[in-house]
């Protein structure tokens, strides 16, 4: 007898601005991930955890010495707890479960929350080993006692973005990919996304930032701030390699309609130009922000785009604190705040 899909059971992928039960982080320990000095990286994770803990529970995932180090940084911090789960790396947005919810009016006896646990192969086999990370999503779901769905397809959490109202933004480059999902074309992948995330409209975009080893995760490029409204990275500097691809992406986004039939309202936000560490360009983007209960944590990089971005977010998230967090060290791992966190919906 066929097993019902999450969509058939009434589950949907919630927007990040909906109420959270917690935010999860995986403590960093894989030094090779980070360009330059690793010593600063745990301090950044601790700062992120402390900020979030003022607004909602924080769960730290680690094992062995990384767990001991996390405790040294954060033991005694209110609203922070630790889960002994082994990891290979610290990008929990991609390795953790994608949570789906059933609204109060949904019929049937299914649980109100469930976990969708995708296959994991380190962004198309780029960074072995990844055996521990391949188990993280299932382990978290089990600790939470949640029903677990396994689509049998590779998908990283940073590759998808939703408005919570049936629309999904996805970058085709990092999903329709022979290194991740050999033999699956866009139509087949779109069916899996609809079935397991409970979305009605999948909007495909393209492009990537120079230095982004994920092949173009959407959380660096374009994010929903409300149904029908998207913020998108823009690079006005014609000498920056991101200038042309981001302009093309803005045009593409403006042509799209959401699940309600609305043409997207696209709000450009400039990102740092030619941001590099020792000659290596890095994907520094204000789009890698994190929404939590009562706060929006925004990556800043010590440059002229910081203040305009923060002012823009203040207008887009009224009633929430806009908290800038210096990500000049964090981005040496080619990611920022959204990449290292996984929100658990209430």
Q: Along the 346 residues of the chain, how does pLDDT read in single tens digits?
A: 468 999 999 999 999 999 999 999 999 999 999 999 999 999 999 999 999 999 999 999 999 999 999 999 999 999 999 999 999 999 999 999 999 999 877 777 789 999 999 999 999 999 999 999 999 999 999 999 999 999 999 999 999 999 999 999 999 999 999 999 999 999 999 999 999 999 999 999 988 999 999 999 999 999 999 999 999 999 999 999 999 999 999 999 999 999 999 999 999 999 999 999 999 999 999 999 999 999 999 999 999 999 999 999 999 999 999 999 999 999 999 999 999 999 999 9
Inside any domain, residue 191:
yes
Task: Enumerate residues 6+ apart whose C-beta is below 8 A from 163.
Answer: 15, 224, 226, 227, 228, 258, 259
CB 90 within 8 A of CB 340: yes
Contacting residues for 16 by C-beta, under 8 A, at least 6 apart: 290, 291, 343
339 is catalytic: yes
Write down the pTM of the prediction: 0.97
Looking at residue 109, what is its pLDDT? 73
203 found inside a domain: yes
Do the beta carbons of residue 170 and residue 221 sit within 8 Å?
no
Residue 2 confidence (pLDDT): 60
Task: Report the alpha-carbon angle 185-189-195, nearest 5.
Answer: 150
Residue 346 lies in a domain: no
Per the domain annotation, does 161 fall within a domain? yes
What's the DSSP call for residue 262?
P
5 domain-assigned: no
The answer to whether position 66 is within a domain reads yes
Q: How many domains does the chain have?
A: 1
| Longest CA pairwise span in the chain (Å) | 59
Quick one: tokens of 106? 């949904």
DSSP 257: B
| Residue 177: C-alpha distances to residues 93, 154, 155, 181, 215 (Å) | 19, 10, 10, 6, 10
Domain containing 120 — which CATH number?
A: 3.75.10.10
Q: Which domain holds residue 52?
A: 11-341
List, in order, residues 6 or more apart from 253 with CB less than 8 Å away: 205, 222, 230, 232, 264, 266
Any domain includes 83: yes
Catalytic residue among 117, 174, 327, 339: 339
pLDDT of the residue at 159? 98
Residue 2 in any domain: the answer is no
């Amino acid at each position: 007898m066929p097993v019902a899909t999450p969509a058939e059971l009434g589950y949907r992928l919630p927007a990040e601005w909906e109420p959270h039960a917690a935010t999860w982080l995986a403590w960093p320990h894989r030094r090779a991930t980070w360009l330059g000095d690793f010593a600063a990286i745990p301090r950044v994770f601790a700062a992120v955890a402390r900020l979030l803990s003022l607004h909602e529970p924080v769960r730290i995932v680690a094992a062995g010495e990384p767990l001991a180090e996390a405790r040294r940084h954060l033991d005694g911090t209110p609203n922070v707890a630790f889960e002994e789960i082994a990891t290979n790396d610290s990008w929990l947005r991609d390795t953790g479960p994608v949570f789906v919810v059933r609204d109060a009016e949904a019929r049937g006896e299914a649980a109100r929350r469930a976990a969708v646990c995708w296959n994991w192969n380190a962004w198309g086999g780029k960074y072995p080993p990844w055996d521990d990370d391949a188990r993280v999503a299932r382990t978290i779901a089990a600790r939470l006692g949640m029903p677990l769905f396994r689509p049998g397809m590779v998908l990283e959490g940073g590759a998808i973005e939703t408005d919570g109202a049936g629309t999904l933004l996805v970058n085709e480059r990092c999903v329709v990919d022979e290194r991740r999902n050999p033999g699956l074309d866009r139509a087949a992948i779109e069916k899996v996304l609809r079935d397991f995330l409970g979305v009605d409209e999948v909007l495909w975009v393209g492009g990537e930032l120079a230095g982004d080893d994920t092949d173009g995760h959407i959380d660096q490029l374009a994010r929903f701030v409300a149904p029908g409204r998207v913020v998108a990275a823009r690079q006005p500097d014609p000498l920056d390699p991101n200038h042309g691809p981001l302009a093309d992406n803005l045009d593409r986004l403006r042509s799209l309609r959401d699940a309600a039939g609305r043409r997207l309202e696209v709000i450009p936000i400039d990102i740092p130009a030619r941001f590099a560490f020792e000659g290596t360009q890095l994907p520094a983007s204000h789009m890698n922000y994190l929404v939590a209960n009562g706060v929006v944590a925004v990556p800043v990089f010590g440059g002229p785009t910081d203040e305009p971005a923060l002012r823009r977010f203040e207008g887009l998230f009224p009633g929430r604190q806009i908290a800038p967090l210096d990500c000049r060290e964090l981005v040496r791992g080619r990611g920022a705040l959204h990449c290292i966190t996984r929100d658990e919906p209430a």
